[in-house]
A = this chain, B = another copy of it.
Amino acid sequence: MKARENMELHPMIKPNLSSSVKNYLYKYIRSLDLGGNTKLPPENELSLNLGVSRVTVRRALDELEKEGIVLRIHGRGTFVNPEALNIQVNLMPGEEFSRLIESCGYKASFEVADVRKLKADAEIARILQLEDEEEIYEIEKIYLADGHPAIISIDRFACSLAGDDLKREAVEGKSTFDILRKFGGCFIVRDKIRIETMNRREMEQETVYGRKMECDSVLVFHGINYNQDNRAVIYDTEFYDTKYIKFSLLRVKNVYED
């Protein structure tokens, strides 16, 4: 743990007022949670007390509602959602794998299984919009939950983004996001994933360390990651053992029938 040594400058996203209100409310909710009284103050009161407009309070509450933290009932009020605490991992945000494992209640660690440099095949060249024969890095990592293999990830990106001399040591400490942010000056703002399942045999064909997994079927995400300029910069594949990684998702059905 070499914290604070080599403190890096990296692009920050500056928060806005409604995020601050959201954070404030989130902490407020966590503070009162055991009391049993799950009703929040009315929007007008929050607006007055916090010194922001009601619209801003509402935007914060909109977010909390979408995340399932609160429920709003027209004419009655805004309530803390008792279910929200049972959520283990929300699928949406695209979180770091280590944090994800910890959210599931395990101690996280990882190994870099493999760092290879190779020519992009046709499919990857198409997805990442590379020149023919352009070289890419392929980084395979395995993430452990209390020592059990829980996630295998394979990240693929153009060598031109991170320099030609990427060393295994540089990969050990950081996530691929960090590497691209530091060396390539670009950072990921959105991704698009495709979901499928594989059985053990299929997984072992696609990974180096697949045979370490304990499970017989895995959840697979194929992800294309876009940077701030809407360019596809990483193509990754993630294998999850759902015995350890329990994704949850709160979905609000909005059925406006035109």
Contacts and interface: CB of A to CB of B under 8 A. Distances in A.
A254 B246 CA distance: 22
A195 interface: yes
A95 to B, nearest CB: 9
Contacts of A217: 197-199, 216-218
Given A15-B258, A19-B256, A248 B193 contact: yes
Given A19-B256, A256-B15, A196 B246 contact: yes
Interface string A238-258: 000011001111111111111
A251 B94 contact: yes
Nearest to A190: B252
A34 interface: no
Contact of A197 (B12, B93, B219): B219
A83 interface: yes
In which size bucket is the chain A interface?
35 or more
A246 B190 contact: no
A196 B248 CA distance: 9
A94 B188 CA distance: 27
A20 to B, nearest CB: 8
Contacts of A12: 257
Nearest to A230: B71
A22 to B, nearest CB: 9
Contacts of A15: 256-258
A255 B13 contact: yes
Interface in A201-258: 215-219, 230, 242-243, 246-258
Given A23-B258, A71-B230, A230-B71, A253 B189 contact: yes
A192 B248 contact: yes
Given A189-B252, A196-B219, 13 more contacts: A12-B257, A68-B190, A71-B230, A188-B253, A190-B252, A191-B253, A192-B249, A193-B248, A195-B242, A196-B242, A197-B197, A197-B215, A197-B219
17 contacts: A15-B257, A73-B230, A91-B195, A91-B249, A93-B251, A93-B253, A93-B254, A190-B250, A190-B251, A193-B249, A194-B247, A195-B248, A195-B249, A196-B242, A199-B216, A216-B217, A217-B217
